[in-house]
């Protein structure tokens, strides 16, 4: 019993001591709580808010592109897509099977969905198919009770109602590439698109708008629990273009699958009414994501549907250039009555240049030289003028340099000079080069838009308008008068151009506009793509339709209308279309007739 | 007078069940229930304001466990005395069993699956070890306690299961088993000098022990040193727990108002980190109230141990209450970032059937010591001959 008493005494002492120790251990716990919950509370409160509040961007709807009447060229279409939330389904596979009975889901799409289901969190919606038709949406909605986890989601996608007709003007939108990311988080949103080409690219910033923001409460997995605050952004501004889409579409249809370019502008202010490049492409395809096969087809097509030919196609101007050569001659003091005898060829001694007309035109003055497009006349004129004066006049009319139209990818063309040839080829300028330039062949290249611009400047009495797709703001400076070109010279060239179409001797008489109030003036051009060999010339000249497509001549036409007090200028290039009079002039005629018929409506809009 | 009668009747083993029931410590049971209720409330909140999936089940378990606790409390203490060594042997076999099963399945194994019943041998061992040490020290003369021969068996009794649990690997439970046993040996009268020597030795062995830790255990300790170094990885738990605690402030965000918990930033909020959830929703005040309830339980336990007339009861009571305290201390210290995350639940509050059952069985034994406090238990576990 003695030991038991000792044992109890010892136990009591030690147990009490240890209990005290435990109390002492509880003290740091309380102290720690005080430290965290009182002293550091503010800091941790901030961290807790950071944890739970997530800032999301609300992508603004992109501004629309409109034609001069407000007709939409690029809009945002509601894109209905069917999405699946895997955690709400009983089985993703079974749900996909059920869905496949209502809308078509291909194997590729099905595999992609199953892959994404594995990779993403169970509450993240996964798109099964987008761009659903109304009928498909309706079928899914009706069967909704049998499809848990399946919902219809609406997004905005860029839509181009005129499809290929204005593709090269509008350009297209697509997700930004790595290089285009600027750190703006808006660009990193999965659905966000930026302008990649055309006006979509030029005015991208304005069209884009300002992003709104959304504060949401999220849980640790990023699932949105509720919306806290929403700040609406600003939708992108609509952008009105000077195009007349009815006209544009009509021209595109008229050109069909030909590889061709048409530029039509108002000569008074340079506003572009139509800028057509064919064949076109559907810009919406880029938005949805172009398939590899589709891309290959577009990029390897010999008719180059991706090239914006009116501004990036560079062609020798051919005989249309004779108008500029004539102006240079007149301004150099040459009399319009200067006469050359055309035997059908022009002998330079070292080389013989041919006229398009075998047998020659006989005695020709400047007016007839233009009307009948006599090559020999302009060989002689060019020889007398020299390249410098011709080049100088070309530049005054906007040739050989970018026009500055609001489109990316514009090319300058080339007005060759002595220095240029020396630098590029290492050979000095030859008189033969000048002679060739006299008929718009050789080193010289221009874009169809430049040709339309030069024509417009001739037609408007020498005012330095520039082509543009956007209506100028009020109070913009009126165009200045081009120096070094007299009204008389311009009037002479205009009269000659009038006779190209309206005189029976004219090369485009067959394409005249018979209604006197709509009558057009113009100049044809036919550009050899391939040098005609001596042997060929000796035996027999092949007709264009006997040659393979790529060897056929380019057909060109520049024109304006009405002949008196011109209002519109046009340039038409049909690649490998054959002769200008046959292939290009009729197109120009139709375009100018249509635009004049529609002209009264432009005035009312202009006032508005 | 009444005590004497009781004493006599006890000695004659004629204490009827109804009298035993009246001997139950109602204050202790009330405190226990209050703590459990805090748990139900937090589990209700953890489920986003729903009884399912945690609160309702926890309540059911508590109810069942409560009945078992009372049954254990009123069962003759000699039965527990007799079962002590057998329970230890069984627990050891089970521990070895899961070790082997773990080897076979090639992963950490802590459970034995008996269909509807899952047994965690380390939990069984916690109770069995308390009983075993209590019986051991009850049976040897006080004068012999500090003889080396008598020191070796208890050391082995502790070291074996601790090593097995550590190998599972379950650092938290190993620490609980070890520290609980050390406390029992201390109150049993083992010289302070020995603890000092053992402590020094342990410190010296620390670098070697480090080698035996699993990578994730090392990582936990390292991240504990600098939780901000890896905020999305191993330090995430500690960081988020501290954010929840800190943002709770003095009075908390209100019941069901804890953003850290409800938005799932808080890991394992219904189990190991439930204290954090409480402290987020009820602030420092709520946390201190719960701490106070635990200290009340501690006081009840210590009082029962001191009041007990026999050494077996004293040691069982003290062992149980020490284990409870260690649970509480380690869990709270862990979630507040004072010690590394070791995976120890908060007793009676954290969701989990096995832990709840273990604790209520342990409390059953604690109350058993209380009910049988005046029994005269001989060194051999029998009542002295009348």
Q: Which residues of B touch A15 (CB under 8 A)?
A: 187, 302, 305-306, 314, 318
Contact across the interface for A15 and B322, Cβ inside 8 Å: no
Contact across the interface for A8 and B329, Cβ inside 8 Å: no
**Model ipTM?**
0.88
What six digits make up the tokens of B193? 């000098």
Query: Is A319 assigned a catalytic role?
Result: yes
Contact across the interface for B306 and A16, Cβ inside 8 Å: yes
Task: Tell me, yes or no, if B307 comes closer than 8 A to chain A by beta carbon.
Answer: no
Give the pLDDT confidence score for residue A291 in this predicted structure: 76
CB nearest to B189's CB, from A7, A23, A220? A7
Alpha helices in A343-486 (DSSP H): 366-371, 375-385, 387-396, 418-425, 431-437, 448-459
Q: What is the largest CA-CA distance in chain A?
A: 154
Contact across the interface for A4 and B302, Cβ inside 8 Å: no
d(CA A250, CA A262): 11
> What is the average per-residue pLDDT within A154-167?
89
Q: Tell me if B165 is assigned to some domain.
A: yes
Would the pLDDT of A232 be above 50? yes
**Per-domain boundaries in chain A:** 56-240, 245-291+307-471+479-607
A56-240 and A245-291+307-471+479-607, same CATH topology: no
Task: Tell me, yes or no, if B246 comes closer than 8 A to chain A by beta carbon.
Answer: yes
d(CA A283, CA A164): 7
> What is the average per-residue pLDDT within A244-257?
94
The answer for B14, left when phi > 0, alpha when psi is -120 to 50, beta otherwise, is: alpha
Below-70 pLDDT ranges, chain B: 1-15, 102-110, 114-117, 220, 223-234, 381-386
Q: Tell me if B112 is assigned to some domain.
A: yes
> What is the average per-residue pLDDT within A576-593?
91
Neighbours of A472 (CB within 10 A): 13
CB nearest to A37's CB, from B263, B284, B318? B284
d(CA B345, CA B120): 14
Helix and strand element counts for chain B (H, E): 15, 2
Angle B353-371/B77-105 helices, nearest 10 degrees? 160
Give the pLDDT confidence score for residue A456 in this predicted structure: 97
pLDDT tens digits along A117-159: 887 777 777 888 888 888 888 888 888 888 888 888 888 889 9
Q: How many structural domains does chain B have?
A: 1
d(CA A437, CA A168): 30
pLDDT tens digits along A463-512: 999 999 998 777 778 889 999 999 999 999 999 999 999 999 999 999 99
Q: Which residues of A touch B245 (CB under 8 A)?
A: 33, 36-37, 44
- Which of A566, A528, A574 lies closest to A547 in space, CA to CA? A528
Q: Which residues of B touch A40 (CB under 8 A)?
A: 246
Least confident stretch, A205-214, A527-536, B231-240, B333-342: B231-240
d(CA A152, CA A79): 10
| Residue that wins the pLDDT comparison between A52 and A136 | A136
Neighbours of B20 (CB within 10 A): 18
Would the pLDDT of A32 be above 70? yes
**What CATH number does the domain located at A56-240 have?**
3.90.1310.10
Task: Tell me, yes or no, if B346 comes closer than 8 A to chain A by beta carbon.
Answer: no
Contact status, residue B344 vs residue B155, Cβ threshold 8 Å: no
The strand pairing partners of A263, in sequence order, are A275, A571
Would the pLDDT of A532 be above 80? no
- The string of DSSP letters for A152-219 reads EEEEEEEE-TTGGGGHHHH--EEPPPGGG--S-GGGGSTT--EE-SHHHHHTHHHHH-B-EEEEEEE-
Strands A554-561 and A568-574: antiparallel
| Residue that wins the pLDDT comparison between A308 and A295 | A308
Question: Under CATH, to which class is A245-291+307-471+479-607 assigned?
Answer: alpha beta
Q: Percent of chain A at pLDDT above 90?
A: 57
- How many residues belong to chain A? 608
Would the pLDDT of A588 be above 90? yes
What is the distance of C-alpha A343 from the center of its chain? 47
Which residues 115-154 of B are in CB contact (within 8 Å) with A?
141-143
Give the pLDDT confidence score for residue B377 in this predicted structure: 81
Give the pLDDT confidence score for residue B223 in this predicted structure: 67
Give the pLDDT confidence score for residue A59 in this predicted structure: 81
Give the pLDDT confidence score for residue B224 in this predicted structure: 64
Strands A239-240 and A65-66: parallel
Task: Tell me, yes or no, if A43 comes closer than 8 A to chain B by beta carbon.
Answer: yes
The strand pairing partners of A556, in sequence order, are A525, A573
Q: Which residues of A touch B334 (CB under 8 A)?
A: none
Four-CA torsion B329, B333, B338, B342, nearest 10 degrees: 100
- Which of A484, A218, A183 lies closest to A330 in space, CA to CA? A484
Q: Tell me if B62 is assigned to some domain.
A: no
CA distance B276 to chain A (A): 10
> What is the average per-residue pLDDT within A421-431?
91
Contact across the interface for B329 and A15, Cβ inside 8 Å: no
Measuring CA to CA, how many Å separate A407 from each of A168, A305, A460?
Answer: 9, 17, 24
- Cis ω for the linkage preceding A562 (within 30 of 0): yes
Mutation to test the B interface, candidates A29, A43, A215, most B Cβ within 10 Å:
A29
pLDDT band at A607 (very low <50, low <70, confident <90, very high): very low
Task: Tell me, yes or no, if B336 comes closer than 8 A to chain A by beta carbon.
Answer: yes
Give the pLDDT confidence score for residue B106 in this predicted structure: 54
Give the pLDDT confidence score for residue B7 in this predicted structure: 47
SS3 of residue A4 by DSSP? helix
State which residues form the domain around B312: 81-356
Give the pLDDT confidence score for residue B170 in this predicted structure: 78
Residue with tokens 């961007």: A57
d(CA B93, CA A246): 92
Would the pLDDT of A326 be above 90? yes
Q: Percent of chain A at pLDDT above 70?
A: 96
Contact across the interface for B249 and A19, Cβ inside 8 Å: no
pLDDT band at A185 (very low <50, low <70, confident <90, very high): confident
pLDDT band at A373 (very low <50, low <70, confident <90, very high): very high
In chain B, the residue whose alpha carbon lies closest to the alpha carbon of A36 is B246
Q: Which residues of B touch A51 (CB under 8 A)?
A: 240, 243, 259-260, 263, 265
d(CA A401, CA A394): 10
Task: Tell me, yes or no, if B285 comes closer than 8 A to chain A by beta carbon.
Answer: no
Q: Which of A277, A319, A394, A417 is catalytic?
A: A319
Contact across the interface for B298 and A221, Cβ inside 8 Å: no
Mutation to test the A interface, candidates B235, B238, B241, B246, most A Cβ within 10 Å:
B246
């Amino acid at each position: 019993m003695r030991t038991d008493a000792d044992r109890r005494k010892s136990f009591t002492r030690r147990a009490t001591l240890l209990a005290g120790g435990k109390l002492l251990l509880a003290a740091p716990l309380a102290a720690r709580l005080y430290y965290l919950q009182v002293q550091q509370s503010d800091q941790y409160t901030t961290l807790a808010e950071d944890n739970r509040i997530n800032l999301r961007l609300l992508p603004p709807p992109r501004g629309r592109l409109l034609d001069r009447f407000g007709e939409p060229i690029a809009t945002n279409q509601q894109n209905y897509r069917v999405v699946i939330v895997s955690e709400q389904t009983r089985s993703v596979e079974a749900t996909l099977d059920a869905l496949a009975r209502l809308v078509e889901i291909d194997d590729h799409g099905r595999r992609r969905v199953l892959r994404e289901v594995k990779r993403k969190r169970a509450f993240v919606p996964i798109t099964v198919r987008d761009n659903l038709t109304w009928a498909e949406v309706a079928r899914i909605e009706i069967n909704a009770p049998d499809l848990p986890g399946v919902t219809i989601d609406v997004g905005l996608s860029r839509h181009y109602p005129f499809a290929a007709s204005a593709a090269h003007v509008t350009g297209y939108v697509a997700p930004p590439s790595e290089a285009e990311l600027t750190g703006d988080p808006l660009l990193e949103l999965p659905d966000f698109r930026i302008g990649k080409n055309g006006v979509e690219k030029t005015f991208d910033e304005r069209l884009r708008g300002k992003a709104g923001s959304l504060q949401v409460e999220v849980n640790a997995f990023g699932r949105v629990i509720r919306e806290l605050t929403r700040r609406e952004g600003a939708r992108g501004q609509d952008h009105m273009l000077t195009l007349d889409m009815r006209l544009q579409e009509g021209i595109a249809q008229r050109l069909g699958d030909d590889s061709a370019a048409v530029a039509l502008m108002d000569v008074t202010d340079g506003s572009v009414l139509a800028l057509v490049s064919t064949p076109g492409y559907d810009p919406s395809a880029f938005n949805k994501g172009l398939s590899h096969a589709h891309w290959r087809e577009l990029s390897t097509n010999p008719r180059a549907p991706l090239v914006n030919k009116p501004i990036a196609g560079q062609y020798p101007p051919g005989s249309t250039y004779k108008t500029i050569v004539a102006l240079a001659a007149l301004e150099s003091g040459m009399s319009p009555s200067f006469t050359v005898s055309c035997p059908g060829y022009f002998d330079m001694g070292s080389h013989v240049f041919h006229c398009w007309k075998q047998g020659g035109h006989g005695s020709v003055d400047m007016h007839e030289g233009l009307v009948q497009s006599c090559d020999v006349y302009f060989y002689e004129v060019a020889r007398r003028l020299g390249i410098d004066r011709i080049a100088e006049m070309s530049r005054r009319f906007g040739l050989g340099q970018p026009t500055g139209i609001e489109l990316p990818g514009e090319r300058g063309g080339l007005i060759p000079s002595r220095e240029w040839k020396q630098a590029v080829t290492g050979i000095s300028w030859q008189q033969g080069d000048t002679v060739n330039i006299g008929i718009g062949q050789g080193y010289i290249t221009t874009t169809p838009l430049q040709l339309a611009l030069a024509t417009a400047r001739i037609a408007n009495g020498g005012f330095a308008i520039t082509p543009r797709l956007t209506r100028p703001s009020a109070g913009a400076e009126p165009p200045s008068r081009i120096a070094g070109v007299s009204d008389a010279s311009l009037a002479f060239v205009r009269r000659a151009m009038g006779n190209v179409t309206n005189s029976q001797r004219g090369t485009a008489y067959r394409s005249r506009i018979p209604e006197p109030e709509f009558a057009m003036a113009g100049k044809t051009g036919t550009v050899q793509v391939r040098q005609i060999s001596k042997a060929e010339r000796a035996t027999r000249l092949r007709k264009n339709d006997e040659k393979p497509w790529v060897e056929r001549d380019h057909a060109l036409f520049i024109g304006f209308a009405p002949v008196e007090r011109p209002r519109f200028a046009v340039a038409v290039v049909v690649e490998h279309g054959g002769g200008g009079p046959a292939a290009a002039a009729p197109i120009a005629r139709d375009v100018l007739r249509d635009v004049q018929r529609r002209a009264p409506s432009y005035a009312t809009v202009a006032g508005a | 007078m009444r005590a004497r009668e009781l004493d006599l009747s006890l000695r004659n083993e004629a204490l009827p069940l109804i009298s035993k029931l009246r001997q139950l410590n109602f204050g202790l049971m009330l405190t226990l229930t209050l703590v459990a209720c805090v748990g139900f409330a937090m589990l209700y909140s953890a489920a986003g304001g729903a009884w399912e999936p945690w609160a309702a089940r926890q309540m059911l378990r508590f109810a069942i466990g409560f009945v078992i606790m009372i049954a254990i409390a009123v069962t003759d203490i000699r039965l527990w005395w007799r079962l002590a060594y057998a329970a230890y042997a069984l627990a050891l076999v089970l521990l070895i069993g899961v070790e082997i099963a773990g080897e076979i399945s090639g992963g950490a194994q802590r459970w034995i699956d008996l269909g509807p019943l899952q047994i965690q041998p380390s939990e069984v061992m916690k109770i069995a070890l308390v009983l075993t040490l209590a019986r051991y020290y009850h049976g040897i003369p006080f004068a012999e306690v500090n003889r080396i021969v008598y020191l070796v068996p208890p050391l082995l009794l502790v070291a074996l299961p601790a090593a097995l649990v550590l190998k599972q690997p379950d650092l938290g439970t190993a620490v609980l088993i070890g520290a609980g046993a050390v406390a029992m040996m201390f109150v049993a009268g083992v010289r302070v000098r020995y603890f000092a020597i053992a402590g020094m030795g342990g410190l010296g062995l620390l670098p070697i022990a480090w080698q035996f830790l699993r990578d994730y255990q090392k990582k936990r300790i390292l991240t504990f040193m600098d939780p901000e170094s890896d905020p999305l990885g191993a330090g995430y738990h500690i960081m988020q727990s501290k954010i929840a605690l800190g943002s709770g402030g003095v009075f908390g965000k209100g019941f069901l108002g804890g953003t850290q918990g409800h938005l799932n930033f808080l890991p394992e909020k219904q189990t190991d980190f439930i204290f954090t959830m409480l402290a987020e929703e009820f602030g420092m005040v709520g946390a201190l109230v719960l701490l106070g309830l635990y200290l009340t339980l501690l006081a009840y336990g210590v009082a029962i141990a001191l009041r007990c007339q026999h050494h077996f009861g004293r040691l069982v009571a003290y062992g149980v209450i020490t284990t409870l305290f260690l649970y509480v201390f380690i869990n709270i210290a862990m979630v507040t970032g004072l010690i590394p995350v070791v995976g120890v639940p908060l007793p009676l509050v954290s969701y989990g059937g096995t832990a709840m059952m273990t604790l209520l069985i342990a409390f059953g034994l604690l109350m058993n010591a209380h009910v049988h406090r005046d029994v005269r238990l001989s060194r051999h576990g029998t009542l002295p001959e009348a």
